[in-house]
Each structure stands twice: as structure tokens, then as C-alpha cells.
Amino acid sequence: MSELIEPQNNEKKEQNESKKTKKHRETPQKLLKFREIAAQAAAGASAERIKAQKDKGKLTARERINYLADEGSFQEIGALIESRCTDFGIKDKHIKGDGVITGFARINGRKAAIFSQDFTQLGGSLGLAHARKIANLMDLALKAECPVIGILDSGGARIQEGVDSLDGYGEIFYRNTKSSGVIPQISIIVGPCAGGAVYSPALTDFVFMVKGISNMFVTGPAVVKAATGENIDAETLGGAKAHASKSGVCHFVANSEQDCYRQVKELLSFLPSNSCEKAPALASSDPIERKIPLLERLCEMDPKKPYRIHHIIWWLADDHRFLEVHQEFAKNVVIGFIRLGGEVVGVVANNPAHMAGALDIDSSDKAARFIRFLNNFNIPILTLIDVPGYWPGTAQEHGGIIRHGAKLLYAYAEATVPKVSLILRKAYGGAYIAMNSKYMGSDMNFALPSAEIAVMGPMGAVEILYSKQIKEAKPEEQAAIKAKLAQEYSDKFASPYQTAAAGSIDEVIEPSESRMKLIEAFKFLKDKKSRPYSSKKGNIPL
């Protein structure tokens, strides 16, 4: 201090100058120590462990973050955290960061919180310090109101830490639930994810898996074998294919990790950062009034002929771009994101190419959860309807189609975002009501001239209404009588006009103008004001 305030003679000044230059040349010990520790933490595991990771076809935890985050944007926090556990030699390993990298970054210019489990350190297993790093990041993400993206590659609860690791999972599940519907949560499974650990991804909004390297199961192949005698490998039991097509746990499947991170970025481009924001609009040169001649063909098509609903979605969407969610699961209903006139819209559509587009247990669950996501994040809903009813049979009834089907009704009715429907062809019975019908709270309902709206299909109706008359007829005449009666029924109901006259649909529209009509409807509803009736007390039939 005195150096700064005391007047100095020239000799003294020179001495001081030379001391200062020397100081500049020598890096202070404290700084050296810090740099050494930081480098140690950043280096992670040994070269052998990194090689073992690569040999399994996997990227390292840091490489994964680099694929996801905008270049140079990742800011790590908690790099020096270590486990306090001293049992089973953990302390001797001095694992800096405790097997997970946490921090915040920008993804396509927008902020996001990211954690990435490091399998090369104690198998990415979750101990208390590891869990608390993730929990702290989740708390920060809630405060910063940005999405949380978890990259999971872990042997599960760290066995050496006993119940501490189980409690660590509890802290994460609690935050997953607290953040649900407030900020988007995305899980990327790029390695094992076993035991109760699977429930964090299951509580998040979207789960990504990569073919060949991702596994999820509550009990792995060894336990399955011990408990049931069944021989099954990890990939068949809990690989990407199983969870994308059978269990419905996985929403997106990628062929490689790089492909996976590209898909995550694309999904994020459709999502708002939190439930107070609107999804990001994107200007498009695709004309609003672009005609869709394809839809006219529905008017001449055999009503029983299947077609992939995707063709219609592609034609309606800006630049024909449709990001499908849950592509392999319950294909009778198709869900995903498009833009209409630049604004993000969530699509829920029956798909006649699969089970004739009928509703069943899985498709009701799939659509209901998506609708709830859209509603939480202020994304308007477009419903495209071509549904012959509910899929019949004992398996559906005993599997709980009543309970699961009710979720869809509940989700549509409680949603307060703009809701617009277009009936393309069939809209029968209970499924007509469930698919965002007018009196279930839809805002605007359109139908094409090809629409058929009735309590049930013609043959089913005739069998019930005229069963006595048909039984009394000669056996060789019964088919002809049925056909004639079914035709009469069709003439009455196989059109949208009776429903339009009753006011249950708002307008029958020129098919080729559908894109323009839908865009105008959503524009009109853009600032819709609607309060949920019972946001806190509702009890969805789970």
C-alpha cells in the first residue's frame, strides 16, 4: 500500500519496477494450483476408460455436450464437487465432478441447462454429490426459466453409497415433478439406465434413445432370468426399438449419437423456453393461401380405403415440415409439431393406415399426454379427424380402454390453448366426441365435404336398428336388405350437412383451401383468453 502513496526517489522506483516485472513472469502458486485442479477435473477419466467408452460406440460426456451446445457457450458449474463417501475406496479415486458434468449453455442461441453423466467415472453411477449437482442445476433452470436436458449414461444408484444414492434419486424425481409443465425437460439415454433410475426420464417430457447403445429397464436381463427363467438380452428387453414401439417410453429414436443431438435441437426449435412464453415463430415463404388439391381426392375415395395421415399433415404444414413425436408407438394416432403461417402448432391426428385410425388404449395415452404438454406450453392444437370409433375386443375392454380413453377426453376438455379441428372423413360415435368435438370445448370445427359424422358406421347401425327385419328375411335375401338399409343410412349420415345444420361443426370448407382456413382460424384465436376451471384440483383418470 505504502508503495502506492509514498513519494519515491528514482532509485527506489527502478527497484520496484524490476520487482513487478519479475512478479509478472512468475505465475502465483495459488493460480498454478487452481489451474492444475481445473485441468484435472476437465481431463476426467484415464485414457483406458475413455477408450473403453469409445469401444462401446459411445461419445464421452464432454463430447456430447459439445454436440448439443453452441460452440464455446457451455459454462460448467460444480466441476470440483467430490463424493464425501469414504467407503469401498471411493475417496482414494478422487473423482472430481463425481461422475456428472453440469452447466448451462446456449442451444441455437437460446439458453438451456445441461447435465451429462460420465460413464468413465465410477460407471456414471449416482451418489449423493452427483445427485445434488443435478438437483442444483434443475433448481437453477427453474429460476432461469429454461429447459433442462439430461444426458444419461449410468450404472444407476452408486452401490457404495447405499441409501444416500437412493435419496439422491428422490431429490431428482421431486424436481422433475416440480418442473413439469413449467420448463421443458428432455432426457437423452445414451448408455445404461437401470432400476428406479428410469423414473427420472419417465417423468420428463421427451425421451430420446440411440439404436444399439441405449437401454432402459427396471430389472435387467439377469434379474429377469432369476425371477422368471426368461432368457432375454438387454437390447431386446430395453433397447430403443422396444421402448419406441412397445412400451411408449421413448419418443424419438436416433441411428447415432450425432443424429440424436441434431434431433434434440430440432425439437427445441419448436418449444418455448418455459410455460410463460410462446413457442418461437419462424417466418416462412410458404404462402398461407397455398392450395391442397390432395384433399379433394378424399371426396372420391372409398371410405374404407386406408391412407397415411402424414401426407395430409405434410401438405398442410409450412414448407411441408412435420416433426413427428412417438413415431413408432400407437401408430393409429399421429402426433407432432408443425408451423402454420410461421406459428408452432401441435397436431393430433387419426391415421387410417393403422387399425383404420381407431382409438385404443395406447393411442389415447399417447395423444392425452401430448395434448397436456401442448397446453402447458401455450402451443395451439390442430386435430385432424378420420376415426371409425374405438377398437373393439376383450383385450381393450379388460386392458382399461374406459380408463385410458377417459384421459383423452380429460386432456382435450381441460386444454385452454386454441383448439381447431378438421374432420376429413369418418367421425363416429364416442371417438367423434373424444377427438376435440365442439361441445368438448373446441374453439373452431371444420369439416370437408367428405366427412361422415354419425353415432356409428352404417353396417353396425343397420344390424342394431333392423335386426328383427333382417332375421325374418330369407337367408339369401339378407345381404341385399342389409346393403340397401346401410345405403339409406349412409345417404342420411355420410355427409357433414346434418351436423352442420345442427351447429356441431362451424363450417364445411373447400378441401383445397384447408391450409388457409386453419391458419386464419389460429390467427384469430392467437390471443385467446381462457382460464382453466380447476387447474389445481382436477384429477385426471390415470
Q: Which residues are catalytically annotated?
A: 195-196, 430-431
Is residue 458 part of the contact set for ligand HXC (CB under 6 A)?
A: no
Identify the three-state secondary structure at position 43.
helix
Q: What are phi and psi of 287, to 5 degrees?
A: -65, 140
Q: Three cell numbers at 315?
A: 401438405
From the CB of 116, what's the least distance to ligand HXC, in Å? 16
In which element (H, E) is residue 333 found?
strand 333-340
From the CB of 341, what's the least distance to ligand HXC, in Å? 45
Binding mask 97-126 toward ligand HXC (x if CB under 6 A, else -) reads: -------------------------xx-x-
Give pairs for 531-539: CB < 8 Å, separation 24+.
531/416, 532/414, 532/416, 533/414, 534/414, 538/410, 538/414
Residue 477: CB atoms within 10 A of its CB come to 10
User: Which residue stretch of 189-197, 273-281, 316-324, 401-409 sits at the interface with ligand HXC (rule: CB under 6 A)?
Assistant: 189-197
Q: Three cell numbers at 448?
A: 370437408
User: Which residue stretch of 77-85, 178-186, 190-198, 202-210 sits at the interface with ligand HXC (rule: CB under 6 A)?
Assistant: 190-198
Q: How far is CA 520 from the centre of its chain?
A: 27
**Residue closer to ligand HXC (CB basis): 67 or 173:** 173
How many residues lie near ligand HXC (CB under 6 A)? 16
From the CB of 200, what's the least distance to ligand HXC, in Å? 8
From the CB of 141, what's the least distance to ligand HXC, in Å? 21
Binding mask 121-160 toward ligand HXC (x if CB under 6 A, else -) reads: -xx-x-----------------------------xxxxxx
User: Which residue stretch of 191-199, 462-470, 482-490, 534-542 sits at the interface with ligand HXC (rule: CB under 6 A)?
Assistant: 191-199
Residue 114: CB atoms within 10 A of its CB come to 25
Alpha helices in 95-162 (DSSP H): 128-144
512: Cβ contacts below 8 Å, ≥ 6 apart? 291, 292, 293, 295, 296
**Residue closer to ligand HXC (CB basis): 130 or 426:** 130
Provide the 8-state DSSP code for 124: G
**Residue closer to ligand HXC (CB basis): 194 or 325:** 194
**Residue closer to ligand HXC (CB basis): 160 or 247:** 160
CA distances 427 to 349, 383, 385, Å, are: 12, 12, 7
User: Which residue stretch of 192-200, 322-330, 450-458, 524-532 sits at the interface with ligand HXC (rule: CB under 6 A)?
Assistant: 192-200
Report the amino acid identity of residue 129. Answer: A
Is residue 508 part of the contact set for ligand HXC (CB under 6 A)?
A: no
Residue 326: CB atoms within 10 A of its CB come to 26
**Residue closer to ligand HXC (CB basis): 103 or 195:** 195
User: Which residue stretch of 187-195, 373-381, 475-483, 522-530 sits at the interface with ligand HXC (rule: CB under 6 A)?
Assistant: 187-195
Single residue of 104, 115, 169, 329 touching ligand HXC by CB under 6 A: 169
Report the amino acid identity of residue 16. Answer: N
119: Cβ contacts below 8 Å, ≥ 6 apart? 53, 58, 61, 153, 154, 155, 191
Is residue 197 part of the contact set for ligand HXC (CB under 6 A)?
A: yes
**Residue closer to ligand HXC (CB basis): 212 or 441:** 212
Is residue 196 part of the contact set for ligand HXC (CB under 6 A)?
A: yes
Is residue 195 part of the contact set for ligand HXC (CB under 6 A)?
A: yes
From the CB of 166, what's the least distance to ligand HXC, in Å? 5
DSSP string spanning 146-199?
Answer: --EEEEE---SB-GGGTHHHHHHHHHHHHHHHHHTTTS-EEEEE-SEEEGGGGH
Single residue of 113, 194, 349, 427 touching ligand HXC by CB under 6 A: 194
Q: Which residues sit opposite 383 in a β-bridge?
A: 348, 421
Identify the three-state secondary structure at position 327.
coil
From the CB of 134, what's the least distance to ligand HXC, in Å? 13
Is residue 239 part of the contact set for ligand HXC (CB under 6 A)?
A: no
Is residue 192 part of the contact set for ligand HXC (CB under 6 A)?
A: yes
Residues in the chain: 542
Question: Which residues, 263 to 292, sit near ligand HXC by CB under 6 A?
Answer: none
Q: Three cell numbers at 466?
A: 333392423
From the CB of 390, what's the least distance to ligand HXC, in Å? 36
**Residue closer to ligand HXC (CB basis): 219 or 512:** 219
Residues that bind ligand HXC (CB under 6 A): 122-123, 125, 155-160, 166, 169, 192, 194-197
